[in-house]
Protein backbone atom coordinates (compact mmCIF):
# COMPACT_ATOMS: atom_id res chain seq x y z
CA UNK A 1 0.00 0.00 0.00
CA UNK A 2 2.79 2.42 0.90
CA UNK A 3 4.66 1.54 -2.27
CA UNK A 4 1.58 2.25 -4.35
CA UNK A 5 1.06 5.61 -2.62
CA UNK A 6 4.68 6.56 -3.28
CA UNK A 7 4.31 5.72 -6.97
CA UNK A 8 1.12 7.77 -7.17
CA UNK A 9 2.91 10.72 -5.55
CA UNK A 10 5.77 10.44 -8.02
CA UNK A 11 3.33 10.39 -10.92
CA UNK A 12 1.62 13.49 -9.56
CA UNK A 13 4.96 15.25 -9.21
CA UNK A 14 5.78 14.48 -12.83
CA UNK A 15 2.36 15.73 -13.96
CA UNK A 16 2.85 18.98 -12.11
CA UNK A 17 6.36 19.51 -13.46
CA UNK A 18 8.07 19.26 -10.08
CA UNK A 19 10.90 17.07 -11.32
CA UNK A 20 12.98 19.97 -12.67
CA UNK A 21 14.47 20.80 -9.27
CA UNK A 22 15.29 17.17 -8.53
CA UNK A 23 17.04 16.79 -11.87
CA UNK A 24 18.95 19.99 -11.29
CA UNK A 25 20.19 18.77 -7.92
CA UNK A 26 21.57 15.61 -9.54
CA UNK A 27 23.15 17.54 -12.39
CA UNK A 28 23.40 21.35 -12.09
CA UNK A 29 22.29 23.43 -15.04
CA UNK A 30 25.26 24.83 -16.93
CA UNK A 31 24.64 28.49 -17.78
CA UNK A 32 27.12 30.24 -20.10
CA UNK A 33 27.93 33.90 -19.51
CA UNK A 34 30.59 36.40 -20.49
CA UNK A 35 32.95 37.57 -17.76
CA UNK A 36 31.91 40.72 -15.93
CA UNK A 37 28.37 41.84 -15.13
CA UNK A 38 26.65 38.84 -16.75
CA UNK A 39 28.76 36.51 -14.62
CA UNK A 40 28.23 38.61 -11.47
CA UNK A 41 24.48 38.69 -11.96
CA UNK A 42 24.24 34.97 -12.71
CA UNK A 43 26.16 34.19 -9.52
CA UNK A 44 23.39 36.02 -7.64
CA UNK A 45 20.73 34.19 -9.66
CA UNK A 46 22.47 30.96 -8.68
CA UNK A 47 21.94 31.78 -4.99
CA UNK A 48 18.26 32.59 -5.48
CA UNK A 49 17.72 29.48 -7.61
CA UNK A 50 19.31 27.19 -5.05
CA UNK A 51 16.85 28.44 -2.43
CA UNK A 52 14.13 27.28 -4.84
CA UNK A 53 15.77 23.88 -5.37
CA UNK A 54 17.49 24.58 -8.69
CA UNK A 55 21.27 24.19 -8.82
CA UNK A 56 23.31 26.17 -11.35
CA UNK A 57 26.90 26.00 -12.56
CA UNK A 58 28.06 29.32 -14.04
CA UNK A 59 30.43 28.88 -17.00
CA UNK A 60 32.39 31.98 -18.08
CA UNK A 61 33.51 32.79 -21.63
CA UNK A 62 35.76 35.57 -22.90
CA UNK A 63 34.07 36.18 -26.27
CA UNK A 64 30.65 36.34 -27.92
CA UNK A 65 31.01 33.32 -30.23
CA UNK A 66 31.65 30.36 -27.94
CA UNK A 67 28.59 30.56 -25.63
CA UNK A 68 26.23 29.93 -28.55
CA UNK A 69 28.45 27.22 -30.02
CA UNK A 70 28.58 25.50 -26.62
CA UNK A 71 24.81 25.72 -26.21
CA UNK A 72 24.24 24.22 -29.65
CA UNK A 73 26.71 21.42 -28.89
CA UNK A 74 24.89 20.53 -25.68
CA UNK A 75 27.74 21.65 -23.42
CA UNK A 76 25.46 24.28 -21.86
CA UNK A 77 21.80 24.24 -20.87
CA UNK A 78 21.35 27.99 -21.42
CA UNK A 79 23.33 31.16 -21.94
CA UNK A 80 22.91 34.75 -20.80
CA UNK A 81 25.11 37.31 -22.56
CA UNK A 82 23.62 38.53 -25.87
CA UNK A 83 20.90 40.81 -27.17
CA UNK A 84 18.20 39.81 -29.65
CA UNK A 85 19.73 41.39 -32.79
CA UNK A 86 22.96 39.46 -32.16
CA UNK A 87 21.06 36.21 -31.58
CA UNK A 88 19.02 36.75 -34.75
CA UNK A 89 22.21 37.19 -36.77
CA UNK A 90 23.75 34.07 -35.25
CA UNK A 91 20.64 31.99 -35.94
CA UNK A 92 20.52 33.23 -39.53
CA UNK A 93 24.24 32.58 -40.14
CA UNK A 94 24.60 29.28 -38.26
CA UNK A 95 21.10 27.83 -38.05
CA UNK A 96 21.10 27.49 -34.27
CA UNK A 97 17.85 25.94 -32.97
CA UNK A 98 17.48 28.40 -30.10
CA UNK A 99 14.60 30.06 -28.27
CA UNK A 100 14.43 33.17 -26.08
CA UNK A 101 13.41 32.26 -22.54
CA UNK A 102 13.30 35.78 -21.06
CA UNK A 103 14.69 39.31 -21.09
CA UNK A 104 17.54 39.97 -18.67
CA UNK A 105 19.42 43.30 -18.60
CA UNK A 106 20.30 46.26 -20.78
CA UNK A 107 23.88 47.52 -21.20
CA UNK A 108 23.85 50.96 -22.83
CA UNK A 109 27.00 50.90 -24.99
CA UNK A 110 29.54 53.64 -24.29
CA UNK A 111 32.18 55.57 -26.22
CA UNK A 112 35.57 55.90 -24.53
CA UNK A 113 38.82 57.75 -25.14
CA UNK A 114 42.12 58.31 -23.40
CA UNK A 115 42.96 61.19 -25.74
CA UNK A 116 39.89 63.45 -25.76
CA UNK A 117 37.29 64.46 -23.20
CA UNK A 118 34.44 64.92 -25.66
CA UNK A 119 33.61 63.75 -29.17
CA UNK A 120 33.84 67.27 -30.58
CA UNK A 121 37.57 67.22 -29.79
CA UNK A 122 38.28 64.27 -32.11
CA UNK A 123 40.66 65.34 -34.85
CA UNK A 124 40.11 64.73 -38.54
CA UNK A 125 41.13 61.20 -39.45
CA UNK A 126 40.82 59.92 -35.87
CA UNK A 127 41.02 56.15 -35.45
CA UNK A 128 37.72 54.93 -33.98
CA UNK A 129 37.27 51.37 -32.73
CA UNK A 130 34.00 49.52 -33.27
CA UNK A 131 32.99 45.87 -32.69
CA UNK A 132 33.49 43.67 -35.75
CA UNK A 133 30.28 41.66 -35.37
CA UNK A 134 27.48 42.99 -37.59
CA UNK A 135 24.89 43.79 -34.92
CA UNK A 136 27.15 45.56 -32.42
CA UNK A 137 29.03 47.35 -35.20
CA UNK A 138 25.75 48.60 -36.61
CA UNK A 139 24.61 49.57 -33.14
CA UNK A 140 27.67 51.80 -32.73
CA UNK A 141 27.26 53.42 -36.14
CA UNK A 142 23.63 54.23 -35.32
CA UNK A 143 24.82 55.80 -32.06
CA UNK A 144 27.43 57.87 -33.93
CA UNK A 145 24.73 58.97 -36.35
CA UNK A 146 22.48 60.04 -33.46
CA UNK A 147 25.41 62.07 -32.11
CA UNK A 148 25.97 63.79 -35.46
CA UNK A 149 29.38 62.27 -36.26
CA UNK A 150 28.27 60.30 -39.32
CA UNK A 151 25.29 59.83 -41.59
CA UNK A 152 24.23 56.40 -42.83
CA UNK A 153 22.48 55.61 -46.06
CA UNK A 154 18.71 55.23 -45.82
CA UNK A 155 17.62 51.80 -44.67
CA UNK A 156 21.01 50.76 -43.26
CA UNK A 157 19.32 49.80 -39.99
CA UNK A 158 20.73 47.67 -37.19
CA UNK A 159 23.21 45.87 -39.44
CA UNK A 160 24.90 48.99 -40.79
CA UNK A 161 28.62 48.72 -41.59
CA UNK A 162 31.25 51.38 -42.35
CA UNK A 163 30.37 50.85 -46.03
CA UNK A 164 26.95 52.35 -45.27
CA UNK A 165 28.45 55.66 -44.08
CA UNK A 166 27.55 58.35 -46.63
CA UNK A 167 28.76 61.36 -44.64
CA UNK A 168 31.78 61.42 -42.34
CA UNK A 169 32.80 65.06 -41.71
CA UNK A 170 35.70 64.16 -39.41
CA UNK A 171 36.86 61.41 -41.80
CA UNK A 172 36.89 58.93 -38.93
CA UNK A 173 38.88 55.78 -39.71
CA UNK A 174 36.93 52.83 -38.35
CA UNK A 175 38.99 50.03 -36.83
CA UNK A 176 36.88 46.88 -36.56
CA UNK A 177 37.96 44.53 -33.77
CA UNK A 178 36.48 41.73 -31.72
CA UNK A 179 34.38 43.35 -28.99
CA UNK A 180 36.47 41.77 -26.23
CA UNK A 181 39.66 43.31 -27.69
CA UNK A 182 38.43 46.90 -27.77
CA UNK A 183 39.28 47.81 -24.14
CA UNK A 184 42.84 46.53 -24.60
CA UNK A 185 43.19 48.51 -27.83
CA UNK A 186 42.06 51.83 -26.37
CA UNK A 187 45.64 53.12 -26.00
CA UNK A 188 46.18 52.66 -29.74
CA UNK A 189 42.94 54.35 -30.80
CA UNK A 190 41.67 57.90 -30.56
CA UNK A 191 38.30 56.66 -29.32
CA UNK A 192 36.35 53.43 -29.21
CA UNK A 193 32.92 52.02 -28.59
CA UNK A 194 33.08 49.36 -25.87
CA UNK A 195 30.27 47.07 -24.77
CA UNK A 196 29.49 47.69 -21.11
CA UNK A 197 30.29 44.17 -19.91
CA UNK A 198 33.79 44.37 -21.40
CA UNK A 199 34.24 47.97 -20.21
CA UNK A 200 33.47 47.03 -16.61
CA UNK A 201 35.73 43.96 -16.81
CA UNK A 202 38.54 46.26 -17.96
CA UNK A 203 38.07 48.59 -14.99
CA UNK A 204 36.18 51.32 -16.85
CA UNK A 205 33.18 52.96 -15.22
CA UNK A 206 30.49 53.55 -17.87
CA UNK A 207 28.86 56.31 -15.84
CA UNK A 208 32.04 58.36 -15.32
CA UNK A 209 34.54 57.24 -17.97
CA UNK A 210 32.35 57.14 -21.08
CA UNK A 211 32.43 60.36 -23.11
CA UNK A 212 29.06 59.42 -24.63
CA UNK A 213 26.51 56.65 -24.11
CA UNK A 214 23.42 55.35 -25.89
CA UNK A 215 19.96 55.55 -24.35
CA UNK A 216 18.74 52.46 -22.51
CA UNK A 217 15.43 52.26 -24.37
CA UNK A 218 16.67 50.73 -27.64
CA UNK A 219 16.23 47.19 -29.03
CA UNK A 220 19.32 45.83 -27.30
CA UNK A 221 17.88 44.21 -24.18
CA UNK A 222 19.88 41.10 -23.34
CA UNK A 223 18.21 37.71 -23.21
CA UNK A 224 18.32 34.29 -21.60
CA UNK A 225 18.60 31.71 -24.39
CA UNK A 226 17.89 27.97 -24.41
CA UNK A 227 17.59 25.30 -27.08
CA UNK A 228 14.22 25.25 -28.81
CA UNK A 229 13.62 21.67 -27.61
CA UNK A 230 14.00 22.78 -23.97
CA UNK A 231 11.98 25.99 -23.94
CA UNK A 232 8.87 24.45 -22.32
CA UNK A 233 10.71 22.37 -19.72
CA UNK A 234 9.93 23.19 -16.07
CA UNK A 235 13.53 24.15 -15.25
CA UNK A 236 13.40 26.99 -17.79
CA UNK A 237 10.44 28.61 -16.05
CA UNK A 238 12.17 28.03 -12.72
CA UNK A 239 15.37 29.67 -13.98
CA UNK A 240 13.45 32.69 -15.30
CA UNK A 241 11.64 33.02 -11.98
CA UNK A 242 14.96 33.07 -10.15
CA UNK A 243 16.36 35.74 -12.51
CA UNK A 244 13.23 37.91 -12.45
CA UNK A 245 13.44 38.16 -8.69
CA UNK A 246 13.29 41.42 -6.73
CA UNK A 247 16.55 40.42 -5.03
CA UNK A 248 18.28 40.32 -8.43
CA UNK A 249 16.83 43.68 -9.45
CA UNK A 250 18.11 45.24 -6.23
CA UNK A 251 21.55 43.72 -6.81
CA UNK A 252 21.69 45.18 -10.34
CA UNK A 253 20.63 48.62 -9.16
CA UNK A 254 23.07 48.64 -6.24
CA UNK A 255 26.06 46.98 -7.89
CA UNK A 256 26.08 48.79 -11.22
CA UNK A 257 24.49 52.15 -10.31
CA UNK A 258 22.75 52.67 -13.64
CA UNK A 259 25.40 51.33 -16.00
CA UNK A 260 23.41 48.09 -16.20
CA UNK A 261 19.61 48.22 -16.14
CA UNK A 262 17.07 45.46 -15.43
CA UNK A 263 15.22 44.67 -18.67
CA UNK A 264 12.10 43.01 -17.29
CATH number, domain at 241? 3.40.190.10
Q: Are residues 103 and 187 in the same domain?
A: no
Q: Residue 169 has what pLDDT? A: 97
Q: Is residue 13 part of a domain?
A: no
Q: Are residues 103 and 227 in the same domain?
A: yes
Domain end: 176, 196, 213, which one?
213
Determine the average pLDDT of the residues in 40-56: 97
DSSP-assigned beta bridge partners for residue 165: 152
Q: Residue 9 has what pLDDT? A: 39
How far, in Å, CA of 233 to CA of 29, rounded? 13
Q: Are residues 104 and 225 in the same domain?
A: yes
Q: Is residue 12 part of a domain?
A: no
Q: Are residues 150 and 182 in the same domain?
A: yes
Q: Is residue 5 part of a domain?
A: no
Q: Residue 134 has what pLDDT? A: 83
What domain count does the chain have? 2
Asked whether 14 and 233 are in contact (CB, 8 A), the reply is no
Better-predicted residue by pLDDT, 88 or 159:
88
| C-alpha radius of gyration, the chain, whole number | 21
Asked whether 98 and 73 are in contact (CB, 8 A), the reply is no
Q: Are residues 65 and 121 in the same domain?
A: no
Domain end: 213, 229, 248, which one?
213
How far, in Å, CA of 54 to CA of 17, rounded? 13
Q: Residue 259 has what pLDDT? A: 87
For every residue of 131-200, DSSP letters joined together read ESSHHHHHHHHHHHHHTTS-EEPTT-GGG--GGGEEE-TT--EEEEE-GGGTGGGGGGSSEEEE-HHHHH
Lowest mean pLDDT among 96-100, 195-199, 248-252: 195-199
Determine the average pLDDT of the residues in 156-163: 91
Q: Are residues 26 and 150 in the same domain?
A: no
Interval 100-121: pLDDT, tens: 999 999 988 999 999 999 999 9
Q: Are residues 103 and 226 in the same domain?
A: yes
Q: Residue 118 has what pLDDT? A: 94
Interval 228-252: pLDDT, tens: 999 999 999 999 999 999 999 999 9
Q: Are residues 86 and 168 in the same domain?
A: no
| SS3 at position 70 | helix
Q: Residue 139 has what pLDDT? A: 94
How far, in Å, CA of 167 to CA of 182, rounded? 24
Q: Residue 45 has what pLDDT? A: 98
Q: Is residue 199 part of a domain?
A: yes
Q: Are residues 92 and 131 in the same domain?
A: no
Lowest mean pLDDT among 141-145, 184-188, 257-261: 257-261
Q: Is residue 157 part of a domain?
A: yes
Nearest Cα neighbor of 235 from 89, 107, 102, 36 is: 102
pLDDT at 17 over 90: no
Calculate the average pLDDT of the chain: 90
Q: Is residue 54 part of a domain?
A: yes
Q: Is residue 125 part of a domain?
A: yes
How far, in Å, CA of 185 to CA of 7, rounded? 61
Q: Are residues 192 and 228 in the same domain?
A: no
Q: Are residues 87 and 128 in the same domain?
A: no
**0.85 exceeded by pTM:** no
Give the range of the structural domain holding residue 176, as residue numbers without chain letter: 110-213
Strands (DSSP E) found in the chain: 29-34, 56-61, 78-83, 98-106, 110-112, 127-131, 151-152, 165-167, 173-177, 191-194, 212-213, 221-227, 261-262
Q: Are residues 95 and 167 in the same domain?
A: no
pLDDT at 157 over 90: no
pLDDT at 56 over 50: yes
Amino acid sequence: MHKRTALQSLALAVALGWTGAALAQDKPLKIGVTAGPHAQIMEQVKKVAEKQGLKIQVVEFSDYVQPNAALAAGDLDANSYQHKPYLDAQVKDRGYPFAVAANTVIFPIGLYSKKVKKLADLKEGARFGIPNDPTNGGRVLLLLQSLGLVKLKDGAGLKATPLDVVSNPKKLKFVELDAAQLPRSLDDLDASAINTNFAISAGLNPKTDAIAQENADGPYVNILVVREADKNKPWVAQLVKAYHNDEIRRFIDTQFKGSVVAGW
